[in-house]
Every structure is written in structure tokens, then in C-alpha cells.
Amino acid sequence: MTHQKPGDFGQARILIVEDESIIAMDIAMQLRELGHQVVGQASSGEQAINLAQRLRPDLVLMDVQLKGVMDGIDAAQTIRSRFNLPCLFLSAFANDSDSLTRAALAAPVGYLSKPFFDHELRSVMEIAIRQLDQ
């Protein structure tokens, strides 16, 4: 955890990685409503790694299917191993055992399946934040 420890209400500094801008905007709005601070948004794995290094968020909310050379799982693994930062995955593949197995290797603090609705993001975030506090 960085200089800014999550507060009493489990607030965290979050980096959103999602290449669909409308979804990214919606997530940012929801996270702010939950009292979190959105410190940055990235739309590719490479950009996510750069921002994670620079901003040192408490948590990275990562879309698994990113366009480009690197997908969300690759980026999460790098972010985890280089900066020791946890990721929470967001994915539109429900039952794809290949990506689930790979995703597990990045030791995510949560997994959210698209499309998700308000209460799902809220509860997954709560569980993730509780893990950060430990």
C-alpha cells in the first residue's frame, strides 16, 4: 500500500483500464459515488503499466480483453510482479477456461463479469478493499 492508506470508508485510489470509453466513464462515476478516487484511466496494457508505475494506485481495475499486443492479463501480471499492485478483473468472457486459468495466475483480488450492474461492482469492490487492508 502507498502513502495514502484507504480511509475509514474503505476509499482507495484506483486506476481504470478499459478500452471502451463509455464503460470506463460509467465505472469511474460509480467508483466516485462509492467514495473512491479514480487516479487515472488507461486504454491499453502498455499504458496501464506506465500509469501504474507513475501513479502507484491502491488497485487496478483491469478489463481482460484489451486491444493491442498485450491483453489485460499480461498487463496485470506485469503490474503485479514489477510494482506489487493488485488487480481486479473485468471480463466479457464468462466461461472461457483458458483465460480464467491465466487470470488466476495474476492473483486478482476480484473478478467481475460483463455486463455488471451497480450492486455487483459495489460488492466486488468491498471484498477487494477488505483484502487490501489486510
Partner 1 sequence: MKTPLHRILAIDDTPANLLALDGLLSNEFDLQFATSGPTGIALALKCPPDLILLDVMMPEIDGFETFKLLAAQPMLKAIPVVFVTALNDFDAEVAGLSLGAADFITKPINATIARQRIRNLIERKREQDALQQALQEKVALLKEVHHRVKNNLQVIASLLRMEGKGSEHSHTQAVLNDMQGRIRAMALLHESIYQNGTFAWVDLASYLKKVATQVFVSLAVSPSLIRLQLQLDELQVSLDQAMPCGMLVSELISNAFKHGFPDGRSGEVCIELRPLEDGAMWQLRVSDNGIGLPDNFESAVQHSLGLQLASSLASQMGGRLDVGPGAAFTVQFKVEPTTLPT
User: Does residue 22 interact with partner 1 by CB under 8 A?
Assistant: yes
Grid cell, residue 49, equals 503499466
Cβ of residue 118: shortest distance to partner 1, in angstroms? 7
Taking CB under 8 A as the criterion, the residue among 7, 8, 94, 134 binding partner 1 is: 94
User: Does residue 113 interact with partner 1 by CB under 8 A?
Assistant: yes
Measured distance CA(22)–CA(16) in Å, rounded: 12
Of residues 68 through 87, those in contact with partner 1 by CB under 8 A are none
User: Does residue 100 interact with partner 1 by CB under 8 A?
Assistant: no
User: Does residue 127 interact with partner 1 by CB under 8 A?
Assistant: no
User: Does residue 107 interact with partner 1 by CB under 8 A?
Assistant: no
User: Does residue 30 interact with partner 1 by CB under 8 A?
Assistant: yes
Measured distance CA(119)–CA(41) in Å, rounded: 22
User: Does residue 104 interact with partner 1 by CB under 8 A?
Assistant: no
**Backbone dihedral region for residue 132 (phi beyond 0: left; psi -120 to 50: alpha; all else: beta):** alpha
- Do 44 and 67 form a contact (C-beta atoms < 8 A)? yes
Q: 37 forms bridges with which residues in the sheet?
A: 13
- Residue 5 DSSP one-character state: -
Interface with partner 1 (CB under 8 A): 20, 22-23, 25-27, 29-30, 33, 65, 92-96, 113-119
